[in-house]
């Protein structure tokens, strides 16, 4: 059992509860309760932070339009219209047949972090959660991918925020995506280009992350795609599992969200 | 009406601005010299446009885009009127960018161009500084160029939509140390305000408090520590900012 901050549906104040990351259960007999989106601040994502991402681009990183491999962390935002909690239905937009699933370890900040040095970086972290960072498939990352990454419901998070001191080593966590119960992708945060501490130091060297803000460490290469009707479960060692299902936008609107 | 957010004697207030007087939410009336101006709202999602003026695009040797070049910014970037913006010691090309900022007044999705102004609360001025030395070709303009702390002065106030009869015909001007350095008009935008609202809301919900910075015309030039930069928009006001040297000693 580990301690986590849990956002129970209908209860505005997050509670610290004991959770079982492997079984996905809560203490206090609260296992049947619905959980809400657990994050409160801005959500920033990092692209190209798995070594496999660089391999996917290969020599094209040296060609136009990129010209050379990235130096600073490659960042983007998931704005508030994208936020959705665990177990929700996520709409695949009209005109699209599939979306890409990005399995992200999410760092939640407990203190304002500005110009942090690497060896102190983890002191600023209050906990970790899981984000399903959804995108419309896009090959080019030359221009900001707003239409591809900022559609309504494209940032699912949860099920809870595991306390930082309960996670032994954030740079050695297995990450798996299951689609309709079948394992479709398996990676580890040991493959990060910038490990968690280094990433925090490099990002906060030019922008402040506030208490409550969240930074995604990256999306593993070979992101699987899903269609309407699919159920997606992202499982991260020591954190738990985040499940959502995908529906077509038309049925989503017709049937509503509840 | 002009609506501001200020700090005054240890607290934060919304205020209505009339000439040099501010009527605070608390009922007090104070002179503008007594307050510190804050960004005029607690922003929701902050959208910004790149290359939205043909003259500025060609100045940067780009063709005008066929679809809006939109990027997002965090609230760490915003700073109010008369604030200070840090200039890193290792940059050469720090450019100001005077921009019309559109404040969304109510939630909407799939908003048509014809009804777009119904979703606007008002307008303010932004100076969307860029640090071109840090440009990289990944999600460009990348965050190191455009998402730095206190590098997007905004304000001084939000002027109600009804006080701006034609937002698509406003002069934009930037003065550095009192000298006019940039001049353009919102009529030269490639993608107009109604077009941008229709475009964004075609794939995402816009919410009250979201802001769209609509891009800058030709003429950004380098600025240095000690410079006073004033961005001005006809019918809205003038936004002043001072450039200081960035401090880089870690606090941790």
Same fold, B1-38 and B41-245: no
What value does the mean pLDDT take over residues B22-38? 97
What value does the mean pLDDT take over residues A77-97? 97
Give residue A228's domain range: 38-255
Distance from the Cα of A108 to chain B's closest Cα (Å) equals 16
Residue A257: the pLDDT is: 47
Distance from the Cα of B29 to chain A's closest Cα (Å) equals 33
Residue owning tokens 């001025």: B125
Q: pLDDT tens-digit profile of A151-209?
A: 999 999 999 999 999 999 999 999 999 999 999 999 999 999 999 999 999 999 999 99
Contact A160, A35 (CB under 8 A): yes
Domain B41-245 has CATH 3.40.50.1980: no
ipTM value for the complex: 0.95
Residue A253: the pLDDT is: 57
Residue A258: the pLDDT is: 42
- The length of chain A, given as a count of residues: 258
Range name among A19-33, B1-15, B165-179, B194-208 with the lowest pLDDT average: A19-33
B chain contacts of residue A124, beta-carbon cutoff 8 Å: 252
Query: In three state form, how does the secondary structure of chain B look?
Result: CEEEEEEECCEEEEEEEECCEEEECCCCEEEHHHCEEECCCCCCCEEEEECCEHHHHHHCCCCCCCCCEEEEECHHHEECCCEEEEECCCCCCEECCEEEEEEECCCECCCCHHHHHHHEEEEEEEECCEEHHHCCCCCCCCHHHHCCCCCEEEEEEEEEHHHCCCCCCCEEEEEECCEEEEEEEHHHECCCHHHHHHHHHCCCCECCCCEEECCCCCCCCECCCCCEEEEEECCCEEEEEEEEECCCCCCC
CATH number, span B1-38: 2.30.30.370
Residue A28: the pLDDT is: 66
Asked if the model's pLDDT at residue B63 lies above 80, the reply is no
Asked if the model's pLDDT at residue B56 lies above 90, the reply is no
Cβ of A75 within 8 Å of Cβ of B147? The answer is yes
Sorted by where each begins, the domain ranges of chain B are: 1-38, 41-245
In a domain, A3, yes or no: no
Q: How confident is the model at residue A251 (pLDDT cuts 50, 70, 90)?
A: confident
In a domain, A30, yes or no: no
Residue B27: the pLDDT is: 97
Cβ of A65 within 8 Å of Cβ of B137? The answer is yes
- Which residue is closest to B145 within chain A, CA to CA? A206
B chain contacts of residue A66, beta-carbon cutoff 8 Å: 137-138
What CATH number corresponds to the domain at position A189?
A: 3.90.850.10
Our count of domains for chain A comes to 1
A chain contacts of residue B147, beta-carbon cutoff 8 Å: 75, 206-207
What value does the mean pLDDT take over residues A77-84? 98
Residue A30: the pLDDT is: 57
- Which residue is closest to B109 within chain A, CA to CA? A152
For the entire predicted model, the pTM comes to 0.95
Contact A108, A128 (CB under 8 A): yes
- Which residue is closest to B51 within chain A, CA to CA? A143
Residue B54: the pLDDT is: 86
CA distance B125 to B118: 20
Residue A141: the pLDDT is: 95
In a domain, A14, yes or no: no
- How many A/B residue pairs have CB atoms within 8 Å? 108
Distance from the Cα of B224 to chain A's closest Cα (Å) equals 18
Q: Helix (H, G, I), strand (E, B), or coil: what is residue A44?
A: strand
- Of the partner residues B47, B69, B143, the one whose CB lies closest to the CB of residue A75: B143
User: Phi and psi at residue A94, in whole multiples of 5°?
Assistant: -55, 135
Residue A17: the pLDDT is: 92
- Of the partner residues B47, B76, B204, the one whose CB lies closest to the CB of residue A207: B76
Asked if the model's pLDDT at residue A33 lies above 80, the reply is no
């Amino acid at each position: 059992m580990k301690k986590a901050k849990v956002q129970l549906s209908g209860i505005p104040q997050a509670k610290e509860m004991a959770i079982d990351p492997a079984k996905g259960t809560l203490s206090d007999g609260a296992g049947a309760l619905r959980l809400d989106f657990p994050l409160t601040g801005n959500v920033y994502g990092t692209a190209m932070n798995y070594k496999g991402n660089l391999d996917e681009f290969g020599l094209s990183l040296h060609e136009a339009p990129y010209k050379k491999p990235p130096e600073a962390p490659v960042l983007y935002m998931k704005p508030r219209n994208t936020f959705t909690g665990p177990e929700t239905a996520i709409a695949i937009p009209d005109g699209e047949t599939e979306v890409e699933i990005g399995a992200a370890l999410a760092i939640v900040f407990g203190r304002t972090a500005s110009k942090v040095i690497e060896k102190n970086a983890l002191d600023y972290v209050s906990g970790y959660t899981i984000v399903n960072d959804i995108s419309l498939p896009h090959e080019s990352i030359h221009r900001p991918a707003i239409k591809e990454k900022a559609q309504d419901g494209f940032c699912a998070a949860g099920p809870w925020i595991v306390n930082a001191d309960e996670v032994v080593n954030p740079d050695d966590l297995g990450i798996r995506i299951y689609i309709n119960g079948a394992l479709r992708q398996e990676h580890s945060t040991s493959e990060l280009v910038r490990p968690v501490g280094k990433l925090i130091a490099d990002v906060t060297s030019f922008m402040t992350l506030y208490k409550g803000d969240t930074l995604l460490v990256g999306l593993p290469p070979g992101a699987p795609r899903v269609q309407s009707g699919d159920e997606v479960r992202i499982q991260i060692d020591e954190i738990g599992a985040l499940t959502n299902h995908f529906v077509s936008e038309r049925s989503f609107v017709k049937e509503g969200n509840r | 009406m002009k609506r501001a957010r200020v700090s005054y004697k240890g607290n934060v207030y919304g205020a209505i601005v009339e000439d040099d007087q501010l009527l605070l939410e608390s009922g007090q009336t104070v002179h503008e010299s007594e307050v510190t101006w804050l960004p005029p709202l607690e922003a929701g999602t902050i959208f910004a446009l790149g290359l939205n003026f043909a003259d500025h695009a060609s100045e940067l040797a780009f063709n005008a885009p066929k679809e809006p070049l939109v990027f997002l910014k965090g609230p760490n970037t915003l700073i109010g009127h008369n604030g200070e913006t840090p200039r890193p010691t290792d940059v050469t090309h720090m450019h100001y960018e005077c921009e019309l900022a559109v404040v969304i007044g109510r939630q909407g999705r799939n908003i048509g161009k014809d009804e777009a102004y119904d979703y606007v609360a008002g307008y303010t001025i932004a100076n969307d500084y860029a640090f071109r030395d840090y440009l990289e070709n990944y999600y460009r303009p990348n965050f190191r160029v455009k998402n730095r702390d206190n590098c997007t002065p905004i304000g001084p106030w939000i002027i109600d939509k009804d006080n701006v009869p034609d937002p698509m015909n406003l002069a934009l001007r930037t003065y550095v140390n009192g000298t006019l350095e940039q001049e353009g008009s919102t009529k030269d935008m490639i993608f107009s305000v109604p077009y941008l609202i229709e475009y964004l809301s075609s794939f995402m919900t816009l919410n009250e408090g979201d802001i769209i910075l609509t891009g800058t015309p030709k003429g950004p030039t380098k600025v240095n520590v000690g410079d006073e930069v004033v961005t001005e928009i006809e019918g809205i006001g003038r936004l002043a900012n001072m450039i200081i040297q960035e401090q880089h000693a870690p606090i941790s």
